Amino acid sequence: MGQKTPEIYSVELNGAKNMQQVHKVGGQEKQIGLKRHPQELQKELDLDDHKLSNKDLERKHDTNIVTGLSSTQATERLARDGPNTLTPPKETSEVVKFFRQMVGGFSILLWIGAVLCWIAYGIQYSNDKSASLDNVYLGSVLALVVIFTGVFAYYQEAKSTNIMASFSKMIPQQALVVRDSEKKTVPAEQLVVGDIVEVKGGDRIPADIRLLSAQGCKVDNSSLTGESEPQSRSCEFSHDSPLETKNIAFYSTTCLEGTATGMVINTGDRTVIGQIASLASGVGNEKTPIALEIEHFVHIVAGVAVSIGVLFFIITVSMKYRVLDSIIFLISIIVANVPEGLLATVTVTLSLTAKRMAKKNCLVKNLEAVETLGSTSIICSDKTGTLTQNRMTVAHLWFDNQIFMADTSEDHLNQVFDQSSGTWTSLSKIIALCNRAEFTPGQESVPIMKKAVVGDASETALLKFSEVILGDVMDIRKRHHKVAEIPFNSTNKFQLSIHHMDNPSDPRFLLVMKGAPERILEKCSTIMVNGQEQLLDASMAEAFHTAYMELGGLGERVLGFCHLYLPADEFPETYSFDVDAMNFPTCNLCFVGLLSMIDPPRSTVPDAVTKCRSAGIKVIMVTGDHPITAKAIAKSVGIISANSETVEDIAKRLNIAVEQVNKRDAKAAVVTGTELKDMNQEQLDELLANYSEIVFARTSPQQKLTIVEGCQRMDAVVAVTGDGVNDSPALKKADIGIAMGIAGSDAAKNAADMVLLDDNFASIVTGVEEGRLIFDNLKKTIAYTLTKNIAELCPFLIYIMAGLPLPIGTITILFIDLGTDIIPSIALAYEKAESDIMNRKPRHKKKDRLVNAPLAIYSYLHIGLMQALGAFVLYFTVYAQQGFRPNTLLNLRVDWEKDSVNDLEDSYGQEWTRYQRKYLEWTGYTACFVGIMIQQISDLIIRKTRRNSLFQQGLFRNKVIWVGITSQILIALVLSYGLGSVTALNFTMLRPQYWFVAIPHAILIWVYDEVRKMFIRLYPGSWWDKNMYY
């Protein structure tokens, strides 16, 4: 890994200076970020361990550098300081969560209803000791309903939290620590201040440590500071700021190479990262759009319920009903109006979708985030790993004066360039030999591209590339025995090795070399074209430069390759090569070719970006990478579309200064972190508003937050991807934070609402699709559920106003809401999209509501009313056929309900006892119940689509709907015929023919809705469309 320095990248040649600045910028920003929280800064300043000498350190932390702490000391300190882990963000306690479910949404209304019931009974009881217990039952049932739905919602939430919890459980980290003069491996969480730990390349730093000794130690601080380059660490005190000094390594960063010994100076939450993590948890969560929508909906429905209830309370009181009766009416109206089962249904629907998304590699932490993703209008995506494959891959080759393209797809198999040339033979040999990377053993069955490799990114790329094309590289290397090697270093900027030829009769040595192209070219005097060595003349050099610039312009990392056959007479087989004395030629070599590498885009990404674009979602790339590379990737995945130009492009094309270009002509913009830093809020807003294709390059994770806030000022719903700890504020701030499952840090995963298990951008798009679908389907579910409320409410109003015997009882209503209707409303979640939902704009957070006026009006005043009429027909039929014709029923209520009247006369002169009437009343309840149920089937079927005809959608594509319908009928059958004899439930055995009375109304509902949809399709944008489309 030692060879990896930025200098090798050709693109860095013109960007190196810029990079330095950016690093500083990153540092400054960090300071700014901390200044927002003075207390945190204060804590930061307390850290002075880096200034102390080793002796002072020993004294301060009461330890011994050589022998370490004793086990007893360690145990004491562990007890005093607690384990060395980050406290997870404060979770709301389970009890609070539970109670929140108990009083949230409609629950509070139902509680009021239950309490009113009990109060009513109390009053009745104080007047008459033998008062019937009906109200107590009803109150208890209501309370049970609340508790049941509350427990259910709580369970659902807990389940989804558990998925996440299990996910975040990591393999415990181990640390190598010196205790009692012995080296021991202990779990990292048992480290205490004063422990002496050893780290080596590949380890995660187990705590904040002050280095005591280090050999070529480099750490990756990107998760902490966003610096993407490895930082070298030694034991010298180099800077006053603890963040900048070289002798401190921070918890959760990674040691990339080298080894180091250090003393633990801070553990757990007292580490720097711990402080940042707690800072991130300070950024509150936005309420998710769907949560807002549901709140909005609950407000509407509760408002309707309460106002109708109060209105009728006033009416009944002024109609001289007893206040007690009026209270009971009030309760029934509330119960009829509140869709008790809906919130549970929504939860189930969301978790079903969450499950479906998990299958597609989107793990949803927060159920409501499912829909948020659907309303996303801007995605701020990382580049590395999300848009790209996160591995260097050979993209282009230049030899024989020609640029060839290599296959950069995930499997690499489709290499089409010309491999017949002699130059390729030589080049491939150099690629294979001049390479120190090796496959880790024991992965024979793993596909080449997936094999683990020891070596840095570019060497790995070259190794895999040659392995795919040439076959067993290790064998080639074995056959060409290596006799000498100069590894890469930043002064040489090349790597060289000398090998025997594989042909034993050929005594020559082969010298192969690769490195920065211009340095390689300097060393060459000839060039190989079509397998023949030619003199490297000016025209060839020109061709080289053109190719080099072109490949560099693509944002690729370019390497040059050359070789030389050492003449056998000068270098006999026994010649001893000395790499320090360099007793072999390193100039006048033969240039063979160039090879360029890039971290290529994932093959699914361009499609996904196109989908986003047609779905009206703006994709913004935010990366720490170099602008040229960023732009190249943006272009190749379509974030910057093929025909759009940046201001700079236009300037270049027209050959004018950048300032002269009319900014309106450019659709795309590449903005660096430095530029972004100089912008004020208005300029950023303008930038975000005016350019449809934006790439932010060289940005620090802190700037992500600025970008997210900018997008949110435009009322956009922003999805942000991120992996580092420093991304967590942005992830929290975003409407939906998406953490990377593979590359992401724990802090990022904690802050995010969703985790992409495969780190793939395309998965986000799948998520968007699911999110949009769920929004549509929730609309359908709600419309379906709201409809029958009118059919439940109207009978009650008629009962009060016209004095009919009560058509439907409160408990019966609960059986519809929580019995027959539940499975069908969940079934709507399985409905397929009506049209290509990825071809419309994202919904506007504030304008396109889940429950809008047309939906409520159409459900309540159209379908709901038709259902009510259908239920009434059934009700009147039952009564008329038993002897009470409709005209007799009018104003019969008072006598009907009197317990002392046991000879109430019907339309035929027959006389009824109270119980006989009661039984008839229950038959009426059952009839209404069946009537509503039958019409709800029709309602369910029409709700499958909002615009398309059912025949377009297909009646049988969603099988779950039919499961729902079957369940509806079965539950009704069981209630009527199975439980018909249980008095408390108020169901009776209904005559079979009554099950069919409401069918004409059900058909009417269906026909009416088809007509509605037809007009909507025929006259889009018309008055009808505006008023009838929900």
Partner 1 sequence: MVIQKEKKSCGQVVEEWKEFVWNPRTHQFMGRTGTSWAFILLFYLVFYGFLTAMFTLTMWVMLQTVSDHTPKYQDRLATPGLMIRPKTENLDVVVNVSDTGSWDQYVQKLNKFLEPYNDSIQAQKNDICRPGRYYEQPDNGVLNYPKRACQFNRTQLGECSGIGDPTHYGYSTGQPCVFIKMNRVINFYAGANQSMNVTCVGKRDDDAENLGNFVMFPANGNIDLMYFPYYGKKFHVNYTQPLVAVKFLNVTPNVEVNVECRINAANIATDDDRDKFAGRVAFKLRINKT
Name the site residues for partner 1 (rule: CB under 8 A): 283-287, 292, 733, 861-862, 865-866, 869, 872-873, 876-877, 880-883, 885-886, 900-903, 905-916, 919-920, 983, 991, 997, 1000-1001, 1004, 1023, 1027
Tell me the two tokens of residue 671: 């903005």
Nearest to 848 by CA among 368, 290, 305, 106: 290
Report yes or no: 873 and 997 within 8 Å, Cβ to Cβ: yes
- How far is it, in rounded angstroms, from Cα 917 to Cα 259? 91
With H, G, I as helix, E, B as strand and everything else as coil, classify residue 463.
Answer: helix
* Integer Cα distance of 92 and 747 in angstroms: 18
Q: Phi/psi at 961 (nearest 5 deg)?
A: -55, -40
Alpha helix stretches (DSSP H) within 47-106: 54-61, 71-81, 94-103
Q: In angstroms, rounded to a whole number, what is the distance separating the alpha carbons of residues 904 and 894?
A: 11
Identity of the residue, 269 or 905, whose beta carbon is nearer to partner 1 in the bound complex: 905
Q: Which of 609, 629, 701 is nearest to 670 (CA)?
A: 629
821: which residues sit within 8 A by CB, 6+ positions away?
Answer: 341, 784, 785, 788, 936, 968
Please give the single-letter amino acid code of residue 790. Answer: I
CB of 649 to partner 1, least distance (A): 37
Nearer to partner 1, 480 or 1001 (CB): 1001
Helix axes 323-337, 107-127, angle to 10 degrees: 160
Closer residue to partner 1 in complex, CB, 424/912:
912
Number of C-beta neighbours around residue 372 at 10 A: 30
Four-CA torsion 315, 318, 323, 328, nearest 10 degrees: -20
What residues form DSSP beta bridges with 738? Answer: 721, 754
Cβ atoms of 717 and 692 closer than 8 Å: no
Q: How far apart are alpha carbons 485 and 490 in whole angstroms?
A: 16
Active centre residues (catalytic): 382
**Which residues are bridge partners to 565 per DSSP?**
510
Alpha-carbon distances, residue 217 vs 94, 169, 211, 233 (angstroms): 45, 29, 10, 5
Q: Which is nearer to partner 1, 126 or 983 (CB)?
A: 983
For residue 275, which of 27, 40, 36 has the smallest C-alpha distance?
40
Q: List C-alpha distances in Å: 133 to 359, 378, 745, 814, 1009.
A: 51, 58, 59, 18, 43
DSSP classification of residue 69: B
Query: Looking at beta carbons only, is 480 or 732 nearer to partner 1?
Result: 732
Between 161 and 285, whose beta carbon lies closer to partner 1? 285
Question: Which residue number, 521 or 734, has a Cβ lying nearer to partner 1?
Answer: 734
* Helix (H), strand (E), coil (C) string for 412-432: CCCCCCCCCCHHHHHHHHHHH
Which residue, 53 or 900, is less far from partner 1 as judged by CB? 900
Q: In angstroms, what is the minimal distance from the CB of 919 to partner 1?
A: 6
* Length of the chain, in residues: 1030
Smallest separation (angstroms) from partner 1 to the CB of 751: 13
User: What is the DSSP track for 946-1008?
Assistant: SSS-HHHH-SSS-HHHHHHHHHHHHHHHIIIIISTT-GGGT--PPPGGGGGTTHHHHHHHHHH
**Which of 997, 960, 993, 989 lies closest to 972 in space, CA to CA?**
989
For partner 1, which is the closer residue by CB, 653 or 991? 991
Report the residue number, 882 or 986, with the smaller CB distance to partner 1: 882
Separation of first and last alpha carbons in the chain: 60
Q: Is 131 left (phi over 0), alpha (psi -120 to 50) or beta?
A: beta
How far apart are CB 873 and partner 1 at their closest, in Å? 5
CA distance 462 to 418: 18
The CB-of-161 to partner 1 minimum distance in angstroms stands at 21
Q: Which is nearer to partner 1, 548 or 872 (CB)?
A: 872
Amino acid letter, residue 153: A
Work out how close the CB of 910 gets to partner 1 at its nearest, in angstroms, rounded to a whole number.
5
Cα distance between residue 821 and residue 831, in whole Å: 16
- 667 versus 885: smaller Cβ distance to partner 1: 885
Q: Give CA–CA dist 789/771, Å, rounded.
A: 27
In the complex, minimum distance from the CB of residue 877 to partner 1, in angstroms, rounded to a whole number: 5
Tokens encoding 368: 């409501």
Give the 3-state secondary structure of 574-589: CCCCCCCCCCCCCCCE
CB of 287 to partner 1, least distance (A): 6
The one-letter amino acid code at 807 reads P
Give the nearest distance from C-beta 410 to partner 1 in angstroms.
Answer: 39
Q: Which is nearer to partner 1, 504 or 909 (CB)?
A: 909
Given a contact cutoff of 8 angstroms between Cβ atoms, the answer to whether 246 and 236 are in contact is: yes
Smallest distance from partner 1 to CB 694, Å = 23
SS3 of 588, please?
Answer: coil
Nearest CA among 616, 607, 501, 503 for reference residue 564: 501
Q: Answer yes or no: are the C-beta atoms of 476 and 470 closer than 8 Å.
A: yes
| Contact of 665 with 691, CB cutoff 8 Å | no
Beta strands in 516-556 (DSSP E): 524-529, 532-535
